[in-house]
Chains A and B, each alone.
Chain A
């Protein structure tokens, strides 16, 4: 089955800095990579995703990059703000259909200091 490794487990940055979270996956059949954000005491929510036919996707201050050859993908947050503080989970899966069962990384706790 799929195995997703996520690093770092904790990331501390100053407000305004950039933050990068990296994930690797093992199953070459995976071609959908979502990122979920979980604020303290809240539920995980999808913030951005990328599919294997795209190398990069941006949404305002967040971007994801994908390197299928190396089997790794990353989340980039620019101009970080205190409200970006949360746990971020990456995941990998075959393209949604009946078999879309994402395997999650263990999460990265991002702390943005004002």
Chain B
């Protein structure tokens, strides 16, 4: 298995633009998590899905952020409009229900200028 796949790996965009981050979880994993990592706040859980259904989005910072999981093998995190304070590394992670370990993707480094 290739592990959790994220794209793009790097994204540079201008303030006000729409940004879409993509994630493919490990096949068979029924939990998917989106995290944001910054120096100031560490690893923050933004939202997680179970069997493609959003369970808890209380970590989503504001309405500019949205996430979807249309099927078991694909999820997106969208920021519209983007702002410089959204600059961070965004990680996707997945695991099976009942398992202990979360498997993280390589992350997307987002820079908003």
Contacts and interface: CB of A to CB of B under 8 A. Distances in A.
B41 A106 contact: yes
Contact of A98 (B42, B43, B50, B104): B50
Chain A interface main SS type: loop
Interface residues of A, number: 20
Contacts, number: 45
A102 B97 contact: no
Interface in A29-82: 32, 34, 42-46, 49
Given A44-B43, A45-B104, A96 B56 contact: no
Given A43-B91, A44-B104, A97 B43 contact: no
Contacts of B98: 96-98, 100
A69 to B, nearest CB: 23
B106 interface: yes
Interface in B34-65: 41-43, 45, 48, 50, 56
A107 B89 CA distance: 15
A43 B43 contact: no
B56 A89 contact: no
A101 B106 contact: no
A86 to B, nearest CB: 14
22 contacts: A34-B100, A34-B101, A42-B106, A43-B91, A43-B104, A43-B105, A43-B106, A44-B43, A44-B104, A46-B101, A89-B42, A96-B99, A98-B97, A98-B98, A100-B95, A101-B45, A101-B48, A103-B45, A104-B42, A104-B43, A105-B42, A106-B41
Given A34-B101, A43-B104, A43-B107, 13 more contacts: A34-B100, A43-B105, A43-B106, A44-B104, A49-B101, A89-B42, A96-B98, A96-B100, A98-B97, A100-B100, A103-B45, A104-B42, A106-B42
